[in-house]
């Protein structure tokens, strides 16, 4: 549940917003024509993109390029409150802010990652803290101030530990990357996501996602994922000393009995029997 929501607009678009959320809550967005910087003042979660899953904790931040994302905001320890600051980075607004000084990061280059975790630094924390004064005194906020704040954020990100240059950090943020259904599925074989989640990350309804996958690969997504997880489990039984229950957990089988039954159906022996057979050989 959203407890409070404050935002500052620029050219009739939300540029900066602060959201306080009570868990449980699913934060799901599709950034079609923008990149986004998100700072978690409170809370910890995993952000899912079409190609990766990234853990984020309090006082950490991420840059997200154009694409679909979701994060399940769940209760953690004794806390159930999340506080998030979001900066929406629109190419047209950045061009306007920089006027004739268009920075090179607005020239898109195609790369693979959707999520950039930003190195935690005191200067970024101080910058975030400075914004709270304006959320408490919104009448002081003007377009000129918002321009300065966006420029300040960009400068701090460029100077952060994980940014070798403006191009290296920003160039890909404004280039949408459409992954195939199979790429989305393969990227999340061991993320524990549901078919509904994978359909959301593919920007498809569940029925269209299932139908398209079936027509392309002559198999259902659920069967394909299960087969890949069992292949991984078979490999771990061969090369690791992990217990059967640990392997079941690592391959996203939450129930060891179900894992053993599925393994036996696929390979005609139980996980324990398979490991014993390898030792005899």
Query: pLDDT per residue over 122-151, tens digit each?
Result: 888 999 999 999 999 999 999 999 999 998
DSSP 157-218: HHTSTT-SSHHHHHTTTTS-----HHHHHHHTTTTT--HHHHHHHTT--HHHHHHHHHHHHS
Q: How confident is the model at residue 24 (pLDDT cuts 50, 70, 90)?
A: very high
Summary mean pLDDT of the chain: 86
In the chain, the domains with their CATH numbers are: 2-170 (2.60.120.810), 181-280 (1.10.10.60)
Q: Residues 48, 28: contact at Cβ < 8 Å?
A: no
The H or E element that residue 136 is part of is helix 122-136
Coil, strand or helix at 260 = helix
Coil, strand or helix at 43 = coil
Q: Does residue 238 surpass a pLDDT of 50?
A: yes
Give the C-alpha separation, 33 to 92, whole Å.
Answer: 10
pTM, full prediction: 0.78
Q: Residues 60, 204: contact at Cβ < 8 Å?
A: no
Specify the higher pLDDT residue, 160 or 188: 188
User: By C-alpha distance, which of 8, 4, 6 is closest to 153?
Assistant: 8
Residues of the chain above pLDDT 70, percent? 88
User: By C-alpha distance, which of 34, 269, 61 is closest to 153?
Assistant: 61
Average pLDDT over residues 63-72: 88
Q: Does residue 280 surpass a pLDDT of 70?
A: yes
The H or E element that residue 33 is part of is none
Q: How confident is the model at residue 104 (pLDDT cuts 50, 70, 90)?
A: low
């Amino acid at each position: 549940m959203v407890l409070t929501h404050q935002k500052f607009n620029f050219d009739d678009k939300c540029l900066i917003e602060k959201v306080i959320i009570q868990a449980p809550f699913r934060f799901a967005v599709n950034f079609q024509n923008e990149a986004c910087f998100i700072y978690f003042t409170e809370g910890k979660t995993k952000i899912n993109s079409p190609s990766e899953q990234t853990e984020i904790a309090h006082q950490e931040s991420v840059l997200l390029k154009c694409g679909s994302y979701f994060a399940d905001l769940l209760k953690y320890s004794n806390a159930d409150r999340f506080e998030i600051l979001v900066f929406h980075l629109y190419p047209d607004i950045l061009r306007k802010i920089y006027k004739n000084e268009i920075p090179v990061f607005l020239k898109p280059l195609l790369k693979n990652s959707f999520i950039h975790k930003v190195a935690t630094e005191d200067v970024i924390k101080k910058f975030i803290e400075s914004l709270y004064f304006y959320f408490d005194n919104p009448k002081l906020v003007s377009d000129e101030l918002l321009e300065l704040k966006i420029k300040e954020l960009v400068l701090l990100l460029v100077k952060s530990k994980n940014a070798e240059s403006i191009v290296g950090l920003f160039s890909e943020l404004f280039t949408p990357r459409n992954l195939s259904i199979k790429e989305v599925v393969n990227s999340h074989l061991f993320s524990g996501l549901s078919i509904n989640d994978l359909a959301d990350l593919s920007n498809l309804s569940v029925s269209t996602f299932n139908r398209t996958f079936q027509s392309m690969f002559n198999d259902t997504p659920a069967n394909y994922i299960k087969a890949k997880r069992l292949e991984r489990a078979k490999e771990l039984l061969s090369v690791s000393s992990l217990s059967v229950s640990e392997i079941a957990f690592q391959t996203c089988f939450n129930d060891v009995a179900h894992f053993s039954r599925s393994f036996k159906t696929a390979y005609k022996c139980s996980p324990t029997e398979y490991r014993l057979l390898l030792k005899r050989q």
